[in-house]
Amino acid sequence: MTYVELHCHSSYSFLDGASLPEELAARAAELGYPALALTDHDGVYGSLEFAHAAKALGVRPITGTEVSLSDGSHVTLLVETSVGYSNLCRILTEAHAGTRREGREDREPLAPSVGQRFVEEHSEGLICLSGCARAGLAMRHPNAAAGLARAFGRESFLVELQRPYERGDVRRNTALCDLAEHLGVDTIATGNVHAHAPRRTLLQDTLVAIRCRTSLDGCEQERRGNRESFLRAPAEVAERFVGIDPAAASRTVEIAERLQFDLTQELGYRYPDFSDGVEPAIRQLAEICNDAFADRYPPSDQKLLRRARTRLEKEIALIDELGLAGFFLLHW
Domains in the chain with CATH codes? 21-258 (3.20.20.140), 281-331 (no CATH)
Count of CB atoms within 10 A of residue 130's CB? 32
For residue 331, what are the CA distances in angstroms to 219, 255, 262, 282, 290?
51, 45, 32, 14, 17
Over range 60-83, report the average pLDDT: 96
pLDDT tens for 170-185 read 899 999 999 999 999 9
pLDDT tens for 84-119 read 999 999 999 999 997 877 766 666 777 899 999 999
Count of CB atoms within 10 A of residue 42's CB? 21
- Cα 148 from Cα 62, distance rounded (Å): 21
The pLDDT value recorded for residue 300 is 84
Instruction: Judge contact between 185 and 158, C-beta under 8 A.
Output: yes
The dihedral sign for the CA sequence 95, 100, 104, 107: positive
Structure-derived torsion over alpha carbons of residues 24, 25, 28, 30, reported in degrees to the nearest 10? -110
The pLDDT value recorded for residue 225 is 66
Q: How many CA atoms lie within 13 A of 52 on its CB side?
A: 4
The pLDDT value recorded for residue 169 is 87
State the alpha helices, DSSP H only, in 32-74: 47-56
The pLDDT value recorded for residue 268 is 73
* Helix (H), strand (E) at residue 121: helix 116-121
Give 310 or 98, the one with higher predicted confidence: 310
Give 64 or 169, the one with higher predicted confidence: 64
The pLDDT value recorded for residue 287 is 94
pTM, to two decimals: 0.83
Q: How far apart are the first and last CA of the chain?
A: 56
- Cα 326 from Cα 324, distance rounded (Å): 5
Instruction: Judge contact between 38 and 8, C-beta under 8 A.
Output: yes
Query: Residue 128, Cα to own-chain centre: how many angstroms?
Result: 12
- Cα 257 from Cα 109, distance rounded (Å): 37
Over range 279-305, report the average pLDDT: 90
The pLDDT value recorded for residue 125 is 97
Structure-derived torsion over alpha carbons of residues 40, 89, 188, 205, reported in degrees to the nearest 10? 10
Q: How many CA atoms lie within 13 A of 79 on its CB side?
A: 30
Instruction: Judge contact between 68 and 112, C-beta under 8 A.
Output: yes
Identify the burial level of 213 via C-beta atoms within 10 angstroms of its C-beta, where 0-12 means exposed, 13-18 middle and 19 or more buried. Answer: exposed
Give 107 or 70, the one with higher predicted confidence: 70
**What's the mean per-residue pLDDT of the chain?**
92
Q: Is the pLDDT of residue 79 over 80?
A: yes
- Cα 267 from Cα 100, distance rounded (Å): 29
- Cα 87 from Cα 90, distance rounded (Å): 5
pLDDT tens for 215-271 read 988 888 888 767 889 999 999 999 999 989 989 999 999 999 999 999 998 777 777
* Helix (H), strand (E) at residue 304: helix 302-322
Looking at residue 33, its amino acid is Y
